[in-house]
Structure 1
């Protein structure tokens, strides 16, 4: 398997359309999106606190975000804490990811960090379409993506790491 990069064409009518709009193509980095939005004044520390809360929740339950099939998640506050970037790379298409995220947050009884962003609909738990519209409106699509291990899912990576650990343990026992 060799690293790969792909240029992503601008959206046009030839793109597949899913339940919630165009489906960005799967790339060597799998699927993903970047959202950039303005932060509600005075909420930057709340956003940072939400990150800490999520990190602690993952310490207690490492499978908390497993339904989202995430590879990476990156949050950035910038422009003097007035703007927020959410970047996620995952194995499912946009429709599945957003539907799963909404259900996960509702089931867990938690809010989303997005509630601290200007224009985010506060009725998102009962009106999932408003959540999706916000994400679509603030999405900044990439035009090039690269994968060192192209098109490999998070589950495949976890499985390979388990095989590696098992082989390592077996070799240790043979010595």
Structure 2
């Protein structure tokens, strides 16, 4: 089976897209699903966002499966415009509605906060008011208009499985030498 890179253009108008619980369901692309949020940072809170990034990195060292329920491929956080604006970009295997519901459940269950608490307009009651959390994300979402995948439509689980097989084969071949 030959894997060919692919790109998909996402329409600017979302009227024709299927509507989910919280708005349009953007199509699965060769890069799977994802969203980009850009929001203003509360004055003086950029350091807290950076600290939260360090806390998250340390938590993942202790429990590499911490974010597994989110089915993430990649997560990217960027502070820009002299640390006054924040970009959150995630690529994952589930649709928007499921991802955001899973994120709220994961953080609420773990009793942890989110870096989003440092953003202007983020609802203080986000743990008990998922609709407010989702409304914030939707209002700050900057949809992409084209998405590309070098290994299109493969899930994170499929990629990890392929890598486990590759490693097993490498180990087996090493033992034969």
The residue that corresponds to 2:101 in the other structure is 99
Describe how 1:142-157 pairs up with structure 2 within 5 A: 142-157=144-159
Structure 2 unaligned regions, length at least 5: none
Matched, 1:174 2:172: no
Distance 1:123 1:11 in 2: 31
- Taking the TM superposition and a 5 Å limit, the aligned residue runs for 1:132-147 are 132-147=134-149
What is the CA-CA distance between 1:13 and the residue it aligns to? 2.0
Separation in structure 1 between the aligned mates of residue 82 and residue 149 of structure 2, nearest angstrom: 31
Q: What is the TM-score normalised by the length of structure 2?
A: 0.98
Q: Could you list the runs of 5+ residues in structure 1 that have no partner in the other structure?
A: none
> Aligned residue for 1:162?
164
- Secondary structure of the residue that 1:135 maps to in structure 2? helix
Identify the range of structure 1 (29-38 vs 11-20) with the bigger mean alpha-carbon deviation: 11-20
Q: Distance in 2 between matches of 1:171 and 1:126?
A: 53
**Aligned-pair Cα RMSD in Å:** 0.5
Whole-angstrom CA distance in 1 between matches of 2:14 and 2:101? 24
SS of the equivalent of 1:24 reads coil
- Between the aligned partners of 1:21 and 1:104, the Cα distance in structure 2 is 22
Aligned to 1:64: 66
Task: Report how far residue 9 of structure 1 moved.
Answer: 0.8
> TM-score by structure 1 length?
0.99
- Runs in 1 of length 4+ with deviation above 6 angstroms? none
Relative to structure 2, which stretch is displaced further, 6-15 or 108-117?
6-15
Shift of 1:10: 1.3
Alignment of 1:70-109 (within 5 A): 70-109=72-111
Deviations 1:143-162 (A, max 9, x none): 00100000000000000000
Q: What is the CA–CA distance in structure 2 between the aligned matches of 1:76 and 1:12, rounded to whole Å? A: 27
1:50-106 alpha-carbon deviations (Å, 9 max, x no partner)? 000000000000000000000000000000000000000000000000000000000
